Amino acid sequence: MPASQPRSRARDRNNVLNRAEFLSLNQPLKGNQESRSSSRKQSGQAGAAGAQNSSPKERRQSQQLPEEDCMQLNPSFKGIAFNSLLAIDICMSKRLGVCANRASSWGGARSMINLLGITGHGIPWIAGTLICLVKSSTLAGQEVLMNLLLALLLDIMIVAGLQKLAKRKGPYDINPGLLDYLTMDTYAFPAGHASRVAMLSKFFLNHLVLAIPLRILLVLWALCVGFSRVMIGRHHITDVLSGFVFGYLQFRLVELIWMSSNTCQMLISIW
């Protein structure tokens, strides 16, 4: 035993971890532990005192996180479907914008596509209707032309109001032209050209006697004008499709409020 004690003391002396600089690794200092425990107690007491002093309403507000800070881990199926369709619409519209600028794949045909779009603009149609109305000498022709003028004016006002509400930008950053500013067609949803050509084609098919080839050409013209707006990058596909729907609804509205021949004659006499 006496011999083993000096050996153990010598072993302890030779152990590196028993040096003063390494004591904190084996055995934390009491002062540090006491300071940590005292700081925890003080913070706990301060938190308890603050919780006691705060009113129940403030406690409830502190527990409730703002709505924008909450992560929606389980979005609704409708939200997922809507966002997916919106992403597909934007992607396809950008792909079909082949005439959006001169550097595009069909940039050389941009002037021709713009010219096709002018055939569906509101200003030329209103001007042409007014000229035909002045030169018309039959009561039936004046009745049809007056209701056509009403339909064109309603189309401009309805589309401008819907665009101001939606304020949706097009797939490409393209500034509207002068004619677009005159008809307040500055946003993308719904497409004003698409609604106008849909309304005009349905109006002519109902109130004009046309041969079958002309009827087919009229429908093809409306489709080409509508989708030319996607090709030049002014509208999304859904903007054009919704424009077709609104154009048909505008035609139904004009049919409901159709002005009779006497009403048209009275308005013409006032004018």
pLDDT tens digits for range 90-118: 888 888 888 887 777 887 888 888 889 88
In a domain, 100, yes or no: no
In a domain, 215, yes or no: yes
For 8-35, how does the pLDDT look when each residue is reduced to its tens digit (9 = 90+)? 555 555 554 455 544 544 454 444 445 4
Is 236 marked active-site?
no
In a domain, 89, yes or no: no
In a domain, 88, yes or no: no
| pTM of this structure | 0.69
Ramachandran angles phi, psi of 217, nearest 5° = -65, -35
- From 121, 207, 235, 236, the catalytic residue: 235
Range of the domain at 180: 108-268
Is 235 marked active-site?
yes
For 149-176, how does the pLDDT look when each residue is reduced to its tens digit (9 = 90+)? 999 999 999 999 999 998 888 888 777 7
* pLDDT at position 59 over 70: no
- From 121, 193, 207, 236, the catalytic residue: 193
Q: How many domains does the chain have?
A: 1
In a domain, 175, yes or no: yes
* pLDDT at position 128 over 90: yes
Binned at pLDDT 50, 70 and 90, residue 222 comes out as very high
In a domain, 231, yes or no: yes
In a domain, 13, yes or no: no
In a domain, 219, yes or no: yes
